[in-house]
Copies of this chain bind each other. A is one copy, B any other.
């Protein structure tokens, strides 16, 4: 097992009616900015519950965070925070709203520099405005971690950053708030959580059997409950299990002491940046190609995945790996998620752009052992045409 540090002080309040506890989580003297997205919180009852719980608090609102939250919109929120002397943020929505809030919280104290440097140069975050979240869309896990992904419209970039300073003080996860989600978004959530686990699991053996089994626990549970929650997002238990799977998939528990990959994400982000494809769908496109192109390097773990997740016992090693990837694709497709670039109208021109971008960044290579060179990126994407 590799050495590791683990620190996750986010307080989770999970279940029906937890929004009522909001007034015990924020002190009454705080000036709160509530940040939300496209307005679904007015339809799913969250806005009303929230106003009721925060009666008597000083509340300002900022709506309109995009599905792939942008630097540009975030800067408008930062301006408002400074004007109104806000000292606590409440992020209400899915991963986009929470990721934007993390960037906004850090940018408030980034006075003399361009906050985009946090993403483009990994500039240090010394301080951030405290914030809590109310999660209404299970998927990214951002409600219980230190990560955020932000896009820049002007340059068509999509980059990630991470800092202990931007972990939520609390996150409220009430599965009933996700019941009215469109099925496509529920499917995205299942696939997003699934691939998050894969990024921390399908690497190489590292004498960490507990972490392996915990990762497998999430994958198996997603396969078990995915169809039920896709069929009926109002199924409380199915949604509750999806919500908790998505959080556990990326709160650090399964990644301690083991290698991590994230090449699928890095490549997927480029597909969103160029074609605005939903994040989860970009992962569903990239993953099968990546696993097959790297089948030799990931062999031991791919065979474990075939055996333990898909119960594949027969065939040669290569056949087992191909079957396992095939089952993965079928699982994604059963949730209405296509895995070919052509399904999304992406042509070879985009592949060339993405490969050029990776070359220009002069990264050694993506993935757990930096094996995914720009040439491999091309091979992976061509495989998924």
Contact = CB atoms under 8 A, between A and B. Distances in A.
A49 to B, nearest CB: 15
A53 B12 CA distance: 35
A248 interface: yes
A218 interface: yes
Contacts of A241: 1, 207-210
A262 interface: no
Contact of A14 (B5, B12, B207, B213): B5
A13 interface: yes
Contact of A213 (B1, B3, B18, B217): B217
B3 A12 contact: no
Interface stretch (A93-101, A219-227, A320-328, A367-375): A219-227
Contact of A244 (B15, B17, B210, B225): B210
Nearest to A214: B217
A217 B8 CA distance: 21
Nearest to A18: B3
A184 to B, nearest CB: 23
A134 interface: no
A225 B209 contact: yes
Contacts of A17: 3
A38 interface: no
Contact of A3 (B7, B16, B245, B256): B16
B207 A1 contact: no
A356 to B, nearest CB: 40
Contacts of A220: 209, 213
Q: Could you say how many copies of this chain the assembly holds?
A: 2
Nearest to A21: B5
A221 B210 contact: yes
Contacts of A63: none
A245 B225 CA distance: 26
Interface in A300-328: none
Contact of A7 (B2, B12, B218, B257): B12
A178 to B, nearest CB: 14
A210 B12 contact: no
A298 to B, nearest CB: 21
A10 B14 CA distance: 20
A237 interface: yes
A18 B5 CA distance: 9
A42 interface: no
A10 B252 CA distance: 13
Interface in A65-123: none
A209 B223 CA distance: 11
Given A7-B10, A207-B237, A214-B217, 6 more contacts: A1-B237, A3-B15, A5-B12, A14-B257, A207-B241, A209-B220
6 contacts: A1-B241, A6-B12, A6-B14, A209-B241, A210-B241, A210-B244
Interface of A: 1-18, 207-210, 213-214, 216-218, 220-221, 224-225, 237, 240-241, 244-245, 248, 253, 256-257
